[in-house]
Structure 1
Amino acid sequence: MNFTRTLFPLSMLLLSGCVVGPDYQKPDAVLPAKFSESKATSGENVALNPWWEAFRDKRLNGLVHQGMAENLSVRQALERIEAAEANVVVAGAGGLPSIGASADASASGQDGSYLRRTSTTGASHSESKSISGGASVSWLLDFFGQYRRSKEAASASLDAAYDDVGVARLAYLSDLVSSYVNARYYQEALALNRKNLESRRETLKLTNEIKEAGAASSLDVLQTEGLVNQTLADLPALETGFHQAANHIATLLGVPAATITSSLTKGAAQPMPRYSTRTGVPADLIRNRPDIRAAERRLQAATAQIGVAEADLYPSIELGGSIGASRNFNAVTGSLSSWSFGPSLTLPIFSGGALQAQVKVARSEAEQQYLTWKSTVLNAVEEVENAQTALIRDGQTVAALRKVVNSYEQTLNLARESYRGGASTILDVLDAERNVASARLSLASAIRQLARDYVALNVAIGGGAEIGAATVASK
């Protein structure tokens, strides 16, 4: 008997160290040593890099910092952290003893009267009062690590929730800065079209003067007027584009649409990045990209869930006990107490294959999470490669278009002088007008694309994912 009492606690102690299911191993990804158009030099942690300051635009800087604590997507991601933290508590509570208590009191009685045949009235009365209470305790012994694996999964999911905030912050930065770039582009396009309009009105005035002198026809005047009216027709669409971009910026800042428009109405130069971006090497993305880290944490959570499912295949023992007391104030003895304590064993003998199927489901979900992680890594590498390639070549396009604009502006001046002298027709001037207008708008569009490529590249490497984290968390 003494041997059994000694062996049983010892066996329980040994079993308590057994945790079923695979232990998590960090996944490996075969990545190239460098990006195709950069040096094989590992970069620093870019999570705190305020890359948008390279535009040297104070208004943009103010909008970015204003929205860090107000963007609704970021705040939703922060709320999911609260839920994930609560899930960690829930998962850990399962392996702890559960204690409960109860109490009740009651009173009952009877009142009645009756009339005897002798007209003598009688009455009866009875009353009973009682009170009882009790406490119970139960503890499911986690011999095979079911609750430890559950807590491991919940903790990994919590880490993923924190990384999801970084993902939301990057999406916010990309959307806000790109929208600001669009707004300034539309303002620049409007300014260029108004400049073109002024130039074409001068050409129309010149054509009318030459017609009065008898050297131009009504057809020349009508063609010139058509170009003026076409320029006027292009203005409303550009104004619409500006207002839509400004309204979207307001939404990203968590304020009603159109509240930002007035502050952006005063135009500014198109944003142009003032320095290049160090992309590092592909392996840096695993450290810097919050979506990759979140995918890995979810892989860890899914791996832990395999252990939870496997634990259900094994017996479980629950220790339980209760104690109770009651008192009947009308009874002779007055009170009664009882207690019980002991283990209960549950054996999963037959479940129709459901438990084994749950293990297969958990393993399949873990494999899916691994594939998701791998896909996320490869997509991140592709995004960096694409953005870097576009940034380099769009920079070349901008440089070439500046020369094109300069050439066409000189051509327009020469065409006007030639038209005044009668050496060319109005068609030469109108063609030169069209070429200048088209080249100027192409340049503005190329500058916008260059800025957007710069945004895409910095977001692709995870730049700025943790800026404002302390400010947002304090809200």
Structure 2
Amino acid sequence: MARLASCLFGGCATLLLGACTTAMPPALGAQDIQAPSDFTAEYRPEAGPQELWWQGFNDPQLNSLIARALSENLNISAAEARLRAAEAFLKAERSDLLPSINGSGNITVDVNDSGDTNDSAAVSLFGQFTPDISGRLGAEVLAATANLAAAEYFVADQRRLIASAVANQYIELRRTDARLTLLDESTQLQQQTLRIVTLRYEAGLSANLDVRRAAADLARTRAQRGLLELARARASHALAVLVGDAPGAIPAASHDTASVPEFQSGPPRGSPADLLRRRADLLVAEAGLMEAAANIGIERADLLPSLTIPGEIVAGDGRIDKIFANVVTSIGASLNLPLFDGGRRRAEISAAEAEADARFSEYRQTFLTALSEVENALVGISAYTARNTELRQAIDESDAAFMQSNALYREGLASLFDVLDAQRQLISSRESLIDSEASLASSIVALYAAAGAETKV
């Protein structure tokens, strides 16, 4: 038996030397992704703020809403709670590297028929220490550390997403405000046209068909109000939820003019490789990949022996006043050798390796999605900037055409169709400009979110 024990412990010592390297495979990460040298989009924005980027819109109400959301949003609150849980879990995993000690005690008092008492007492301390000869405990600590990092990055990612969501909903709120203001202006313009046409009809200078056409255009314009108010209510309710409040809690914006907020500059674009170090969702995916690699180490450790060292100190087994008169100490060792399990441990290792492969594919997919988001935002900013320029020119030309056709109509030198057509083009161009300005602002928000701009306050 002594010879067998010597062989077993000698074998364990040999295994211990390679336990860490055997248990822990090399982890894949950012260095294993081939990032393009640059983005393909031709548009290059001017450098803007990297933190608190929404202040580039120069809108105090937007600043206030995002600040509220970052401190009161429930998704962020839940992510922060899970971060605290991950911190506690890591502390628990580290404690497994230390011995565990527990204590117990008992007192017994017997009373016989004559009233005499017979008492006894005993106290004991018992503990256990498990040396990490297989590397399993170390791998569990590494997995918990990676989980903690993922939880921390997830909080940052939630802040990134919530800030951009608030900005987008606020832009939609301002867009609908601007469209409602334009609707009132367009309605007044069409009412004036209807009055002119009605007076000309009453004077016998135009047909009743002209009156009906003008009235139909006015009704079509008024019919847009319900949809715009619905869109505004949805944006307002979404904003309320984002700041952790009940729908309807967001008051109407107070602005000198109803317009879409304009951004002064764009974020630093950087390079595709910068996303790997900056975007929180990519860092979450990378931490998940590290956790998967640690899980392989946990499963590989099951192929190695494990050693447990229990110990106990017992005092008592006598009278209470002589409880420490008899103290017994014992210590031992238990070696567990994995011999045969029908291939279960190997299968669990294969499953953990397959999971790591899946995590790496998800990591690469997240990176490609991030690249696509940046490219789309850059193209969107360029496209909407050019579109806004053309729409402003279209508005100038349509306004001149409407004024000219209206004057000719009053002189009887143009038909009402010409007036209404010019009027429709003018209103349509104004509506398109507001929508395009909102799309430009949203593209800027998308670029900041895609570039992984920080949201620390």
TM-score normalised by structure 2 residue count: 0.90
- Note if 1:460 corresponds to 2:428: no
Report the 3-state secondary structure (helix = DSSP H, G, I; strand = E; otherwise coil) of the residue aligned with 1:262: coil
Asked if the contact 1:128–1:330 (Cα under 8 Å) also holds between the matched residues in 2, the reply is no
Shift of the 89–330 alpha-carbon distance from structure 1 to 2, 3 Å rule, reads closer
1:158 corresponds to: 148
Matches of 2:254 and 2:333, distance apart in 1: 72
Structure 1 residue corresponding to 2:177, chosen from 182, 187, 194: 187
1:285 corresponds to: 275
**Aligned-pair distance for 1:106?**
2.7
1:114 corresponds to: none
- Note if 1:198 corresponds to 2:202: no
Structure with greater Cα Rg? 1
Matches of 2:167 and 2:95, distance apart in 1: 44
1:116 corresponds to: none
Matches of 2:135 and 2:351, distance apart in 1: 19
Asked if the contact 1:38–1:279 (Cα under 8 Å) also holds between the matched residues in 2, the reply is no
Paired residues, number: 450
Report the 3-state secondary structure (helix = DSSP H, G, I; strand = E; otherwise coil) of the residue aligned with 1:141: coil
Matches of 1:398 and 1:40, distance apart in 2: 18
Asked if the contact 2:408–2:414 (Cα under 8 Å) also holds between the matched residues in 1, the reply is yes
Structure 2 residue corresponding to 1:404, chosen from 394, 404, 407: 394
Structure 2 residue corresponding to 1:32, chosen from 19, 36, 41: 36
Matches of 1:408 and 1:92, distance apart in 2: 72
Structure 1: runs of 5+ lacking an equivalent: 112-123, 469-475
Matches of 2:50 and 2:109, distance apart in 1: 69
- Note if 1:243 corresponds to 2:206: no
Shift of the 440–109 alpha-carbon distance from structure 1 to 2, 3 Å rule, reads same
Structure 2 residue corresponding to 1:217, chosen from 207, 213, 231: 207
Q: Which moved more, 1:387-396 or 1:259-268?
A: 259-268
Matches of 1:347 and 1:160, distance apart in 2: 35
1:61 corresponds to: 63
2:89 corresponds to: 87
Shift of the 13–133 alpha-carbon distance from structure 1 to 2, 3 Å rule, reads farther
Q: Which amino acid aligns with 1:35?
A: F
Report the 3-state secondary structure (helix = DSSP H, G, I; strand = E; otherwise coil) of the residue aligned with 1:356: helix
Shift of the 330–315 alpha-carbon distance from structure 1 to 2, 3 Å rule, reads closer
1:228 corresponds to: 218
Structure 2: runs of 5+ lacking an equivalent: none
Matches of 1:25 and 1:109, distance apart in 2: 71
Shift of the 442–82 alpha-carbon distance from structure 1 to 2, 3 Å rule, reads same
Superposition map of 1:52-451 within 5 A: 52-109=54-111, 128-263=118-253, 268-329=258-319, 337-451=327-441
RMSD over equivalenced CA pairs, Å: 3.0
1:472 corresponds to: none
Q: Which amino acid aligns with 1:382?
A: S
Shift of the 204–310 alpha-carbon distance from structure 1 to 2, 3 Å rule, reads same
Q: Which amino acid aligns with 2:341?
A: S
User: In the TM superposition, what whole-angstrom CA distance separates every residue of 1:362-411 from its partner, at most 9, and x where no partner exists?
Assistant: 11111111111111111111111111111111111111111111111111
Matches of 2:93 and 2:214, distance apart in 1: 77
Q: Which moved more, 1:64-73 or 1:15-24?
A: 15-24
Shift of the 9–133 alpha-carbon distance from structure 1 to 2, 3 Å rule, reads farther
Report the 3-state secondary structure (helix = DSSP H, G, I; strand = E; otherwise coil) of the residue aligned with 2:261: coil
Report the 3-state secondary structure (helix = DSSP H, G, I; strand = E; otherwise coil) of the residue aligned with 1:283: helix
Matches of 2:177 and 2:255, distance apart in 1: 8
Q: Which moved more, 1:159-168 or 1:352-361?
A: 352-361
Q: Which amino acid aligns with 1:142?
A: D
Asked if the contact 1:35–1:282 (Cα under 8 Å) also holds between the matched residues in 2, the reply is yes
User: In the TM superposition, what whole-angstrom CA distance separates every residue of 1:316-344 from its partner, at most 9, and x where no partner exists?
Assistant: 11111112123444999997543321111
Q: Which amino acid aligns with 1:56?
A: N
Matches of 1:224 and 1:333, distance apart in 2: 107
Matches of 1:263 and 1:187, distance apart in 2: 9
Report the 3-state secondary structure (helix = DSSP H, G, I; strand = E; otherwise coil) of the residue aligned with 2:333: strand
